[in-house]
Amino acid sequence: MATNTLEAGDTLDHYRIEATVARSGMSMLYKATDLRDGKLVAVKVPHAELETDPVLFERFKREEEIGQMLDHPGIVKTFNDEPRSRVYMVLEWVEGRLLRSILREEKKLPVERAVKIALGICDALDAMHKRGIVHRDLKPENVMVDEQDHIKLIDFGIAMKEDAKRLTFVNLSASMGTPDYIAPEQVKGQRGDQRSDIYALGIMLYEMLTGLVPFTAENALAAMNERLLHAPMAPRTLNAEISPELEEILYRALEREPRHRYATAQEMAWDLEHQEQVGVDASRERPVARGGKRGANKRLLLYGALVLVPALLFGLMLLLAKQ
């Protein structure tokens, strides 16, 4: 089975494949039944080429190791099973819907519901971060929501232990996260830490409340650069039901500089639970019109710098070639 693809009815050790759930660049995810006790599980099988790529294989094994370290109701469980006939992961089967599916259908959520989901994510992040683990790819596609709006974080494919060696990847989104949710320090090529997860949560809460992500552009690179140039569009201009205090919480989560953000998910959760005690910073930077002169000038300077970098490198190479 060169492609590692399984079909409904196939067995993998003592797991019977019921259906294909998802395909990613690294693996296939299947719904399966554990034939020992009849319980549903999720089986994640890497693509065949991943097993021959040492960097990608290490990433897959790291995801499994991190998953086994975490035991929290808001985080999908990874089971440490007996020796297997091939490389794959077995995870808890999670009932519910992806937050992305909910947002696609409802566009934006009532304030109370959005805050409840954000609090659930804060709780799961706090448990992760206390174990020294950073998710690095928080987005609505990686949050499952059940009928009571309880959440589970899924997909730790690019999660990182703070003391782990750095892996190098050739794929931009695989190494850094997803453009709409990536933190400014990650755009700059920095490794990121728990405050990067808090930034991504801020983006998700903003999206749940307004139906939009705060930074958009004609392509992924431009969208990432937007957060280096601008404050987010004031969320209260997009949803009048957002209180000044909740808007302040969003601004604190979305601070451009990590040191100005919430230091922990627990801090953000406290503010979400005690919004009446959140002071509003009247001096905080507020957004200017995206098409205004100031924004256009900054954008031109940045894009000009991006063009100059390869030109300077090419000139340096020519100079060295002549020596």
Segment 218-270, tens digit of pLDDT: 676 766 767 777 778 899 999 999 999 999 999 999 999 999 999 999 999 99
Same domain as 147, residue 21: no
Question: Domain end: 76, 92, 108, which one?
Answer: 92
Structure tokens at 10: 């196939």
Residues in Cβ contact with 140 at an 8 Å cutoff, skipping those fewer than 6 apart: 98, 99, 100, 102, 103, 204, 207
pLDDT at 177: 59
Both 145 and 35 in one domain: the answer is: no
Q: What is the DSSP letter of 230?
A: -
Decide if 150 is inside a domain. yes
- Helix (H) / strand (E) containing 98: strand 97-98
The reply to whether 158 and 228 lie within a common domain is: yes
pLDDT, residue 285, reads 56
Cβ-Cβ contacts under 8 Å for 125 (sequence gap 6 or more): 135, 138, 153, 194, 197, 198, 201, 265
Q: Is the per-residue pLDDT at 42 higher than 50? A: yes
Query: What integer is the mean pLDDT of 264-288?
Result: 85
Neighbours of 238 (CB within 10 A): 15
pLDDT digits 0-9 by tens, 108-165: 999 999 999 999 999 999 999 999 999 989 999 999 999 999 999 998 888 887 665 5
Do the Cβ atoms of 94 and 53 come closer than 8 Å?
no
Helix 194-210 and helix 244-253: axis angle, to 10°? 140
Give residue 121's domain range: 97-294
Does 84 share its domain with 108?
no
Asked if 38 and 82 sit in the same domain, the reply is yes
323 part of a folded domain: no
Residue 302 lies in a domain: no
Q: Does any domain span residue 305?
A: no
Looking at the structure, tell me whether residues 150 and 182 fall in a common domain: yes
274: pLDDT confidence band, cut at 50, 70 and 90? very high
Instruction: Identify the burial level of 138 via C-beta atoms within 10 angstroms of its C-beta, where 0-12 means exposed, 13-18 middle and 19 or more buried.
Output: buried
pLDDT at residue 125, rounded to an integer? 97
In a domain, 306, yes or no: no
Higher-pLDDT residue of 298 and 69 is: 69
Name the residue with higher pLDDT: 293 or 203.
Answer: 203
Residues 106 and 172 in one domain: yes
Question: Is residue 85 one of the residues assigned to a domain?
Answer: yes
132 with 278, same domain? yes
Q: Are residues 52 and 116 in the same domain?
A: no
Name residue, tokens 């003592």: 14
What pLDDT, on a 0 to 100 scale, did the predictor assign at position 25? 75
Of 64, 92, 120, the position where a domain reaches its end is: 92
- 110 shares its domain with 246: yes
Average of per-residue pLDDT across 74-84: 88
Q: What is the pLDDT of residue 186?
A: 84
* Residues 229 and 253 occupy one common structural domain: yes
**Is residue 141 in some structural domain?**
yes
Which CATH number characterizes residue 112's domain? 1.10.510.10
Query: Of 61, 92, 123, which marks where a domain is finished?
Result: 92
Q: Which secondary-structure segment (H or E) carries 114?
A: helix 111-130
Give the pLDDT of residue 259. 94
Classify residue 318: in a domain, yes or no. Answer: no
Residues 77 and 112 in one domain: no
136 with 192: CB under 8 angstroms?
yes
Does the active-site annotation cover 137?
Answer: yes
Rounded percentage of the chain residues whose pLDDT exceeds 70: 79
**Confidence tier at 184 by pLDDT (50, 70, 90):** confident
Q: Which of 34, 123, 137, 197 is catalytic?
A: 137
pLDDT of residue 178: 74
**How many domains, in total, are found in the chain?**
2
Selected residue with higher pLDDT from 50 and 145: 145
CATH number at residue 35: 3.30.200.20
